[in-house]
Amino acid sequence: MLKTKAATLSIAMLVLGGSVHASDSYRIGITQNNVGVDSYQTTYQSAFKNAAEKNAGVDIVVLDAGGDVARQIGQVRNLIQQRVDAIIIWPTNGQAVIPVLRQAHAAGIPVVVTNSQISEAGLEYIAAFSGPDNVQQGISSAEMMCEALNGKGQIVQVAGQPGYTTAMERSQGFEDRLAEACPGVEILETQPADWNREKAQRVMENFLTKYDVIDGVYSGDDNMGVGALNAAKSANRSGGIAFIGATNFAVGYEAISRGEYYGSIYQSPVDDAEAALQTALDILQGKDVPKLNFFETPKITAANLSEFDKPVF
Protein backbone atom coordinates (compact mmCIF):
# COMPACT_ATOMS: atom_id res chain seq x y z
CA MET A 1 0.00 0.00 0.00
CA LEU A 2 1.25 3.47 -0.84
CA LYS A 3 1.46 5.88 2.07
CA THR A 4 3.89 8.12 3.82
CA LYS A 5 6.72 6.40 5.62
CA ALA A 6 6.05 8.48 8.70
CA ALA A 7 2.45 7.48 9.21
CA THR A 8 -0.21 5.13 7.88
CA LEU A 9 -3.63 6.37 6.96
CA SER A 10 -6.21 5.39 9.53
CA ILE A 11 -8.76 4.35 6.93
CA ALA A 12 -6.25 2.01 5.30
CA MET A 13 -5.62 0.43 8.68
CA LEU A 14 -9.33 -0.31 8.84
CA VAL A 15 -8.95 -2.26 5.61
CA LEU A 16 -6.07 -4.35 6.85
CA GLY A 17 -7.78 -5.03 10.14
CA GLY A 18 -11.37 -5.15 8.97
CA SER A 19 -11.79 -8.48 7.19
CA VAL A 20 -15.27 -9.90 6.81
CA HIS A 21 -16.25 -12.54 9.32
CA ALA A 22 -16.31 -16.05 7.91
CA SER A 23 -20.11 -16.26 8.28
CA ASP A 24 -20.66 -13.17 6.10
CA SER A 25 -21.14 -13.46 2.36
CA TYR A 26 -21.55 -10.43 0.13
CA ARG A 27 -21.67 -9.77 -3.59
CA ILE A 28 -20.45 -6.28 -4.44
CA GLY A 29 -20.47 -4.70 -7.88
CA ILE A 30 -18.21 -1.86 -8.97
CA THR A 31 -18.40 0.25 -12.10
CA GLN A 32 -15.34 2.39 -12.73
CA ASN A 33 -15.02 5.56 -14.75
CA ASN A 34 -12.38 4.70 -17.36
CA VAL A 35 -9.65 2.23 -16.41
CA GLY A 36 -7.70 2.76 -19.61
CA VAL A 37 -7.36 6.54 -19.29
CA ASP A 38 -4.46 6.58 -16.82
CA SER A 39 -2.34 4.40 -14.57
CA TYR A 40 -4.08 5.63 -11.40
CA GLN A 41 -7.31 3.88 -12.36
CA THR A 42 -5.45 0.77 -13.52
CA THR A 43 -3.70 0.53 -10.15
CA TYR A 44 -6.99 1.21 -8.35
CA GLN A 45 -8.67 -1.72 -10.11
CA SER A 46 -5.85 -4.10 -9.26
CA ALA A 47 -5.84 -2.96 -5.63
CA PHE A 48 -9.61 -3.37 -5.39
CA LYS A 49 -9.42 -6.95 -6.63
CA ASN A 50 -6.57 -7.73 -4.22
CA ALA A 51 -8.50 -6.26 -1.28
CA ALA A 52 -11.55 -8.35 -2.15
CA GLU A 53 -9.45 -11.52 -2.32
CA LYS A 54 -8.25 -10.88 1.24
CA ASN A 55 -11.84 -10.83 2.50
CA ALA A 56 -13.29 -14.33 2.66
CA GLY A 57 -16.93 -14.42 1.58
CA VAL A 58 -16.70 -11.35 -0.67
CA ASP A 59 -17.56 -11.85 -4.33
CA ILE A 60 -17.08 -8.90 -6.68
CA VAL A 61 -18.35 -7.90 -10.10
CA VAL A 62 -15.85 -5.50 -11.69
CA LEU A 63 -17.04 -3.33 -14.58
CA ASP A 64 -15.54 -0.40 -16.50
CA ALA A 65 -17.64 2.30 -18.15
CA GLY A 66 -14.81 3.35 -20.47
CA GLY A 67 -15.71 6.99 -19.85
CA ASP A 68 -19.18 6.46 -21.35
CA VAL A 69 -22.04 7.76 -19.17
CA ALA A 70 -24.69 5.71 -20.97
CA ARG A 71 -22.65 2.54 -20.56
CA GLN A 72 -22.20 3.19 -16.85
CA ILE A 73 -25.91 3.76 -16.36
CA GLY A 74 -26.54 0.44 -18.09
CA GLN A 75 -23.97 -1.25 -15.87
CA VAL A 76 -25.64 0.02 -12.70
CA ARG A 77 -29.02 -1.17 -13.96
CA ASN A 78 -27.50 -4.58 -14.65
CA LEU A 79 -26.08 -4.75 -11.12
CA ILE A 80 -29.52 -3.85 -9.74
CA GLN A 81 -31.05 -6.69 -11.76
CA GLN A 82 -28.40 -9.05 -10.40
CA ARG A 83 -29.49 -8.03 -6.88
CA VAL A 84 -25.93 -7.44 -5.69
CA ASP A 85 -25.63 -6.53 -2.01
CA ALA A 86 -23.90 -3.19 -2.69
CA ILE A 87 -22.81 -1.06 -5.62
CA ILE A 88 -19.62 1.01 -5.80
CA ILE A 89 -19.51 3.62 -8.54
CA TRP A 90 -16.70 5.83 -9.79
CA PRO A 91 -19.00 8.23 -11.66
CA THR A 92 -18.31 9.25 -15.24
CA ASN A 93 -20.57 12.26 -14.68
CA GLY A 94 -21.69 13.36 -11.23
CA GLN A 95 -25.05 14.66 -12.46
CA ALA A 96 -26.06 12.18 -15.16
CA VAL A 97 -25.81 9.09 -12.93
CA ILE A 98 -28.22 10.39 -10.27
CA PRO A 99 -31.42 8.85 -11.77
CA VAL A 100 -29.92 5.34 -11.84
CA LEU A 101 -28.59 5.74 -8.31
CA ARG A 102 -32.13 6.62 -7.29
CA GLN A 103 -33.19 3.29 -8.81
CA ALA A 104 -30.58 1.42 -6.77
CA HIS A 105 -31.74 3.22 -3.64
CA ALA A 106 -35.36 2.29 -4.37
CA ALA A 107 -34.27 -1.34 -4.80
CA GLY A 108 -32.71 -1.28 -1.33
CA ILE A 109 -29.13 -1.60 -2.60
CA PRO A 110 -26.64 0.68 -0.81
CA VAL A 111 -24.41 2.71 -3.12
CA VAL A 112 -20.89 3.89 -2.30
CA VAL A 113 -19.53 6.61 -4.58
CA THR A 114 -15.75 6.34 -4.91
CA ASN A 115 -13.02 8.85 -5.81
CA SER A 116 -15.15 11.49 -7.55
CA GLN A 117 -18.26 12.89 -5.91
CA ILE A 118 -21.69 13.12 -7.48
CA SER A 119 -23.77 16.30 -7.55
CA GLU A 120 -25.33 17.33 -4.26
CA ALA A 121 -28.83 16.49 -5.50
CA GLY A 122 -27.92 12.80 -5.52
CA LEU A 123 -26.48 12.52 -2.02
CA GLU A 124 -29.79 11.34 -0.55
CA TYR A 125 -29.61 8.24 -2.76
CA ILE A 126 -26.18 7.03 -1.67
CA ALA A 127 -24.96 5.42 1.54
CA ALA A 128 -21.56 7.11 1.52
CA PHE A 129 -18.77 8.72 -0.45
CA SER A 130 -15.23 7.34 -0.11
CA GLY A 131 -12.23 9.11 -1.56
CA PRO A 132 -10.10 12.24 -1.59
CA ASP A 133 -11.37 15.73 -0.87
CA ASN A 134 -10.77 17.19 -4.32
CA VAL A 135 -11.66 20.73 -3.30
CA GLN A 136 -9.04 20.56 -0.55
CA GLN A 137 -6.51 19.25 -3.06
CA GLY A 138 -7.12 22.35 -5.16
CA ILE A 139 -6.76 24.53 -2.07
CA SER A 140 -3.46 22.89 -1.13
CA SER A 141 -2.18 23.29 -4.69
CA ALA A 142 -3.04 26.99 -4.64
CA GLU A 143 -1.10 27.41 -1.40
CA MET A 144 1.95 25.78 -2.99
CA MET A 145 1.62 28.05 -6.03
CA CYS A 146 1.51 31.12 -3.78
CA GLU A 147 4.62 29.86 -2.01
CA ALA A 148 6.46 29.08 -5.24
CA LEU A 149 5.76 32.50 -6.76
CA ASN A 150 6.00 34.54 -3.55
CA GLY A 151 2.45 35.72 -4.12
CA LYS A 152 2.90 37.31 -7.55
CA GLY A 153 2.93 36.12 -11.16
CA GLN A 154 1.03 34.94 -14.21
CA ILE A 155 -0.05 31.30 -14.51
CA VAL A 156 -2.02 28.95 -16.72
CA GLN A 157 -4.20 26.03 -15.72
CA VAL A 158 -4.40 22.61 -17.41
CA ALA A 159 -7.69 21.13 -16.22
CA GLY A 160 -9.05 17.60 -16.35
CA GLN A 161 -12.10 16.37 -18.24
CA PRO A 162 -14.85 19.02 -18.68
CA GLY A 163 -18.00 18.20 -16.71
CA TYR A 164 -16.19 15.65 -14.54
CA THR A 165 -16.69 16.39 -10.85
CA THR A 166 -13.08 15.78 -9.81
CA ALA A 167 -11.80 18.20 -12.43
CA MET A 168 -14.34 20.86 -11.48
CA GLU A 169 -13.68 20.54 -7.74
CA ARG A 170 -9.90 20.72 -8.09
CA SER A 171 -10.23 23.82 -10.26
CA GLN A 172 -12.77 25.36 -7.89
CA GLY A 173 -10.62 24.80 -4.80
CA PHE A 174 -7.54 26.13 -6.57
CA GLU A 175 -9.15 29.25 -8.03
CA ASP A 176 -11.01 30.23 -4.86
CA ARG A 177 -7.99 29.80 -2.60
CA LEU A 178 -5.63 31.50 -5.05
CA ALA A 179 -7.85 34.60 -5.20
CA GLU A 180 -8.04 34.70 -1.42
CA ALA A 181 -4.44 33.89 -0.50
CA CYS A 182 -2.47 35.67 -3.24
CA PRO A 183 -4.50 38.00 -5.46
CA GLY A 184 -1.21 39.01 -7.09
CA VAL A 185 -1.18 35.73 -9.01
CA GLU A 186 -3.26 35.95 -12.20
CA ILE A 187 -4.67 32.96 -14.09
CA LEU A 188 -4.16 33.86 -17.75
CA GLU A 189 -6.16 30.97 -19.19
CA THR A 190 -7.56 27.52 -18.40
CA GLN A 191 -7.79 24.71 -20.95
CA PRO A 192 -8.79 21.03 -20.46
CA ALA A 193 -6.51 18.13 -21.32
CA ASP A 194 -8.83 15.25 -20.29
CA TRP A 195 -6.23 13.69 -17.93
CA ASN A 196 -4.06 12.92 -20.98
CA ARG A 197 -0.33 13.69 -21.01
CA GLU A 198 -0.01 14.13 -24.78
CA LYS A 199 -3.01 16.45 -24.93
CA ALA A 200 -1.62 18.45 -21.99
CA GLN A 201 1.64 18.85 -23.89
CA ARG A 202 -0.25 20.27 -26.88
CA VAL A 203 -2.26 22.59 -24.61
CA MET A 204 0.96 23.87 -23.04
CA GLU A 205 2.57 24.36 -26.45
CA ASN A 206 -0.33 26.64 -27.35
CA PHE A 207 0.03 28.54 -24.07
CA LEU A 208 3.74 29.05 -24.69
CA THR A 209 3.03 30.41 -28.17
CA LYS A 210 0.32 32.72 -26.87
CA TYR A 211 1.98 34.10 -23.73
CA ASP A 212 5.50 35.53 -23.49
CA VAL A 213 5.49 35.27 -19.70
CA ILE A 214 4.23 32.22 -17.78
CA ASP A 215 5.41 31.94 -14.19
CA GLY A 216 3.45 28.87 -13.14
CA VAL A 217 1.35 25.94 -14.34
CA TYR A 218 -1.35 24.24 -12.29
CA SER A 219 -2.49 20.85 -13.58
CA GLY A 220 -5.33 18.64 -12.39
CA ASP A 221 -2.85 15.78 -11.97
CA ASP A 222 0.83 15.06 -12.58
CA ASN A 223 0.13 13.05 -15.71
CA MET A 224 -0.98 16.28 -17.38
CA GLY A 225 1.53 18.33 -15.42
CA VAL A 226 4.47 16.40 -16.84
CA GLY A 227 2.99 16.80 -20.32
CA ALA A 228 3.06 20.55 -19.75
CA LEU A 229 6.60 20.30 -18.36
CA ASN A 230 7.76 18.41 -21.45
CA ALA A 231 6.36 21.14 -23.71
CA ALA A 232 8.16 23.83 -21.70
CA LYS A 233 11.42 21.87 -21.76
CA SER A 234 11.18 21.51 -25.55
CA ALA A 235 10.71 25.28 -25.81
CA ASN A 236 13.63 25.91 -23.39
CA ARG A 237 11.27 27.74 -21.01
CA SER A 238 10.86 25.27 -18.14
CA GLY A 239 13.48 26.85 -15.88
CA GLY A 240 11.40 29.89 -15.02
CA ILE A 241 8.08 28.10 -14.49
CA ALA A 242 6.70 26.56 -11.26
CA PHE A 243 4.81 23.32 -12.06
CA ILE A 244 2.25 22.08 -9.55
CA GLY A 245 -0.14 19.13 -9.84
CA ALA A 246 -3.11 17.92 -7.79
CA THR A 247 -2.28 14.19 -7.72
CA ASN A 248 1.27 12.87 -7.54
CA PHE A 249 2.20 10.31 -10.21
CA ALA A 250 5.58 8.55 -10.41
CA VAL A 251 6.63 10.89 -13.22
CA GLY A 252 5.77 13.88 -11.06
CA TYR A 253 7.65 12.43 -8.11
CA GLU A 254 10.73 11.97 -10.30
CA ALA A 255 10.40 15.52 -11.68
CA ILE A 256 10.25 16.91 -8.13
CA SER A 257 13.39 14.96 -7.25
CA ARG A 258 15.15 16.49 -10.29
CA GLY A 259 14.10 20.00 -9.30
CA GLU A 260 11.96 20.44 -12.44
CA TYR A 261 8.58 20.34 -10.71
CA TYR A 262 7.67 22.33 -7.61
CA GLY A 263 5.05 20.19 -5.89
CA SER A 264 1.99 17.98 -5.94
CA ILE A 265 -0.61 16.26 -3.74
CA TYR A 266 0.10 12.72 -2.52
CA GLN A 267 -2.83 10.42 -3.25
CA SER A 268 -2.73 6.64 -3.29
CA PRO A 269 -4.99 4.61 -5.62
CA VAL A 270 -4.40 1.63 -3.33
CA ASP A 271 -5.76 3.48 -0.30
CA ASP A 272 -8.57 4.79 -2.52
CA ALA A 273 -9.65 1.30 -3.63
CA GLU A 274 -9.30 -0.35 -0.23
CA ALA A 275 -11.21 2.45 1.47
CA ALA A 276 -14.10 2.10 -1.00
CA LEU A 277 -14.41 -1.64 -0.43
CA GLN A 278 -14.15 -1.30 3.34
CA THR A 279 -16.78 1.43 3.37
CA ALA A 280 -19.17 -0.86 1.49
CA LEU A 281 -18.47 -3.75 3.87
CA ASP A 282 -18.96 -1.55 6.93
CA ILE A 283 -22.33 -0.43 5.59
CA LEU A 284 -23.42 -4.00 4.86
CA GLN A 285 -22.40 -5.03 8.38
CA GLY A 286 -24.53 -2.29 9.89
CA LYS A 287 -21.70 -0.14 11.15
CA ASP A 288 -21.95 3.63 11.56
CA VAL A 289 -20.38 5.17 8.47
CA PRO A 290 -20.05 8.93 7.87
CA LYS A 291 -21.66 10.18 4.68
CA LEU A 292 -18.34 11.64 3.50
CA ASN A 293 -15.22 9.51 4.08
CA PHE A 294 -12.14 11.49 3.02
CA PHE A 295 -8.64 10.08 3.31
CA GLU A 296 -5.56 12.21 3.84
CA THR A 297 -3.83 13.71 0.78
CA PRO A 298 -0.84 15.79 1.95
CA LYS A 299 1.29 18.27 0.01
CA ILE A 300 4.55 16.94 -1.42
CA THR A 301 7.52 19.10 -2.45
CA ALA A 302 11.30 18.71 -2.55
CA ALA A 303 11.35 19.71 1.12
CA ASN A 304 9.50 16.58 2.28
CA LEU A 305 9.95 14.22 -0.69
CA SER A 306 12.00 11.75 1.37
CA GLU A 307 9.01 11.14 3.66
CA PHE A 308 7.00 9.60 0.82
CA ASP A 309 7.36 6.44 -1.23
CA LYS A 310 7.45 6.90 -4.97
CA PRO A 311 4.01 6.12 -6.45
CA VAL A 312 3.71 2.90 -8.45
CA PHE A 313 1.42 4.49 -11.03
> What is the rounded distance in angstroms from the CA atom of residue 238 to the CA atom of residue 257?
15
Do 134-265 and 10-131+269-296 have the same topology in CATH? yes
pLDDT value of residue 170: 97
Mind listing the pLDDT tens digit for each residue in 85-119?
Answer: 999 999 999 999 999 999 999 999 999 999 999 99
Q: 10-131+269-296 falls under which CATH superfamily?
A: Response regulator (3.40.50.2300)
pLDDT value of residue 28: 98
Mean pLDDT of 184-209: 97
Q: 134-265 falls under which CATH superfamily?
A: Response regulator (3.40.50.2300)
pLDDT value of residue 313: 87
Sorting pLDDT into bands at 50, 70 and 90, what band is 38? Answer: confident
Q: Indicate the average pLDDT of the chain.
A: 92
Sorting pLDDT into bands at 50, 70 and 90, what band is 208? Answer: very high
- pLDDT reading at 2 higher than 50: no
Tell me the CB-side half-sphere exposure of residue 70, using CA atoms within 13 A. Answer: 0
Other beta carbons less than 10 A from residue 6's beta carbon = 9
Mind listing the pLDDT tens digit for each residue in 245-294?
Answer: 999 999 999 999 999 999 999 999 999 999 999 999 999 999 999 999 99
**285 φψ region: left (φ > 0), alpha (ψ -120 to 50), beta (else):** alpha
Comparing 15-19, 21-25, 108-112, which segment has the lowest mean pLDDT?
15-19
pLDDT value of residue 1: 36
pLDDT value of residue 163: 85
Mean pLDDT of 46-55: 96
Q: Where are the domains of the chain?
A: 10-131+269-296, 134-265
- pLDDT reading at 6 higher than 70: no
> What is the rounded distance in angstroms from the CA atom of residue 137 to the CA atom of residue 10?
19
- pLDDT reading at 22 higher than 70: no
pTM value surpassing 0.85: no
Sorting pLDDT into bands at 50, 70 and 90, what band is 13? Answer: very low
Edge to edge, the sheet with strand 216-219 lists: 185-192, 153-159, 216-219, 242-245, 263-265, 299-301
- pLDDT reading at 213 higher than 90: yes
pLDDT value of residue 37: 80
